[in-house]
Amino acid sequence: MTNLKSRIQNHQSTIGVIGLGYVGLPLAIRFSEEGFKTVGFDIDEDKVQKLNNGQTYIKHIAEEKIFTVVNNGFKATSDFSEIANVDAIIICVPTPLGEHNEPDLSYIKSTLDAIKPYLRENQLLILESTTYPGTTEEEIVPFIESIENVSAVDDLSTESEMQVEAKADPSSNIQHPTLKFTIGENFFIGYSPEREDPGNKNYSTKTIPKVVSGYTKNCLELTKILYDQIVDQTVPVSSPRVAEMTKILENIHRAVNIGLVNELKMVADKMDIDIYEVINAAATKPFGFTPYYPGPGLGGHCIPIDPFYLTWKAKEVGINTRFIELAGEINNAMPNYVVQKVGEALNTISKSIKGSRILILGLAYKKNVDDSRESPSFTIIDMLMKKGADIQYSDPYLPVAPKTRKFNFDLKSVELNPESIQSFDAVVLSTDHDSFDYDLITRESKLIIDTRGRLKPSNTVFSA
């Protein structure tokens, strides 16, 4: 442990980040920026090739940044045998929900299987993927402890160095002893939940405080030291369960409060009250109130998913999380509410949803990013199509509608101009990108159904 600790502190260790998406790629960039030799692992060959060519595939991550870290030695690969040459392994793979809102750990488990043959003594393995409390102790720890016949590698050596040694003297017949991993002594496990907020210009991987934990005291010490090298502040907690629960709490807090304002939006609409005016007025209170804003539903990989990880785990210990589940029901019902409002708006010009041409503004789950994971826009499109509408969309961040786990629309982004906008019976503002020309949209649209409170209600602008 001592030598591993020293190499991390001196930035001589090699860092491996598995999963080069919205979480893993910024993390790998940060390590590279701080002078660590960094290897990014991903099964998507297209991502690997683009990164090694200095290209980006995430809109808010500048290509210049990718080009710089590649020139500094960063490389991407799909070859998991490279794991043998890294000192710290950080797993940043998806943790979606199954068909019945149960945790799907298949990406984590397949990653563990992929790296298993290449794990060696004195490595630090950290999970960053969001999951239910207990995952690290119940899944990662037993997996590592079950591995047998691990090569005993000196803390200062790497697999590649041993291979060089054997090549230099083939007659040496070097034999290395075998052992099992003892966590906290010759192998180390930590958990540190990601806190990325794509597109947030006020906070970055470096400036967002990082919660860290370890399975043992030594594991925690190494995990903290590692992240201390790339973030301004680490927040150590007593166990991986606490760290896992912290991440879940953060997102349940948001999901419940968004569910509350989504429900209040529907009440306010019936009472002819502008909910956005109410929220903005309440937000002037300097204590005891935090503003949350309604929308067409929840998107992204955290808020719509993470609360259900806890509800599933809670049932395992005999508790029903009614409050969390109620918020989930409200948030999941918001696309239905939007479709209802579309129908009501069309009725004002004697049209029905069936046969109407409808333009959806925004596929991304939030403004100014190209992240469409769990975006409610897809559900709204699907529901309107099933009711017989002719649907198109416009999103400057997503020129082609990406295939998701649930939906596969053969659609391309429509360019916004007077002619294209006038060709639609209604426009649904689902994601309020700042780059949209709202003056043009308001002037040329026959009807607008605004789900984000971006526009002032009028005879042609309806709040949803």
Would you please indicate which residues are annotated as catalytic (active-site) residues? 302
The answer to whether the CB of 234 falls within 8 A of the CB of 212 is: yes
382 token code pair: 């699907």
> Closest Cα to residue 95, out of 131, 149, 120?
131
Q: In what order do the strands lie in the sheet with 14-18?
A: 75-77, 37-41, 14-18, 88-91, 124-127, 188-191, 210-214, 234-236
Count the neighbouring beta carbons within 10 Å of the beta carbon of residue 128: 24
Which residue reads 């794991």 in tokens?
83
Q: What is the separation of C-alpha 131 from the centre of its chain, rounded to a whole number of angstroms? A: 12
Contact residues for 452 (Cβ-Cβ < 8 A; gap 6+): 293, 295, 296, 429, 430, 431, 432
Closest CA to 374 of 323, 428, 335: 335
Question: Of 354, 372, 455, 355, nearest to 411 (Cα)?
Answer: 372
Q: How far apart are CA 206 and CA 203, in angstroms?
A: 8
